[in-house]
Amino acid sequence: MRAGALKDIALQLQNAAAAAGRPVPRLLAVSKTQDATAVADLADAGQVAFGENYVQETAGKQPALADRGLEWHLIGHLQSNKAREAATLFDWVQTVDRPKLVAALAGHRAPDRPPLNVLIQVNIDDEASKHGCQPGDVAALATAIAAQPRLKLRGLMVIPTPHPDPEQRRDAFRRTRQLFEALRAEHPDVDTLSMGMSDDFAIAIAEGATMVRIGTALFGARKTRDPGLGTRDPEKGD
């Protein structure tokens, strides 16, 4: 079943990219609340990159998947006191939004590991309920990340206001693409613009997404999170 869903999504991404005249983006499978078996099923079908919201939840499922060569992305809000674990567990952190977090992640990334890939999360619509830095703070934050040898600046991540009509999110995607291009002008190695989910990825691709975060369309309806892990869901995925 999941193999079929993965194949279907891959085709949809190809078609959306072709229609927009854009390169096909990378697919990040949003596996938050999914157990290790569900992740393994998708990995067996060829998926490599998985997105998680919570450090503790990821730590619980990784051991059963350790021999699969998977790539783990943190797409949930990260508190500074979890930076040590995040720097150990993840290959990417997509939600860096403040200088304190930059220093904490860099300080805990082991020297025998590749640099931690980092995306700056931008609160593109200035929503009080959302994490992310302001667009005007991106340049300074990027400079701070680039100065850390244990971190690698890769680009931007954004979640626009969830308007019922996905077409209403287009302007936010477009503004993020402009911000991304400005960032790339200063940091030529920047290559990743993470935006778009199950209901709006075609619009995000048309506006320049190089990575889309898909959960529901791959795994089905989201499972209820283990209450032992807390109740706050920072909505950093699909």
Evaluate whether residue 114 is within a structural domain: yes
Q: For position 3, what pLDDT does the model report?
A: 87
Evaluate whether residue 236 is within a structural domain: no
Q: For position 224, what pLDDT does the model report?
A: 55
CATH code of the domain containing 11: 3.20.20.10
Residues 196 and 26 sit within 8 Å (Cβ to Cβ) = no
Evaluate whether residue 16 is within a structural domain: yes
Evaluate whether residue 157 is within a structural domain: yes
Q: Is the dihedral of CA 79, 84, 89, 90 positive or negative?
A: positive
Evaluate whether residue 171 is within a structural domain: yes
Evaluate whether residue 168 is within a structural domain: yes
Domain that holds residue 74: 2-229
Q: For position 30, what pLDDT does the model report?
A: 98
> What's the domain count of the chain?
1
Statement: the pTM of the whole predicted model exceeds 0.85: yes
Residues 158 and 121 sit within 8 Å (Cβ to Cβ) = yes
Evaluate whether residue 238 is within a structural domain: no
Start-to-end CA span in the chain (Å): 19
Mean pLDDT, each 10-residue run in order, the chain (238 residues): 90 98 98 96 97 97 96 97 97 98 97 97 93 97 98 97 93 98 98 96 98 94 49 38
What is the four-CA torsion angle of 192, 198, 202, 204, rounded to 10 degrees? -40
Q: For position 225, what pLDDT does the model report?
A: 53
Evaluate whether residue 179 is within a structural domain: yes
Q: For position 134, what pLDDT does the model report?
A: 97
The CA distance from 204 to 12, in Å, is: 13
Q: For position 70, what pLDDT does the model report?
A: 98
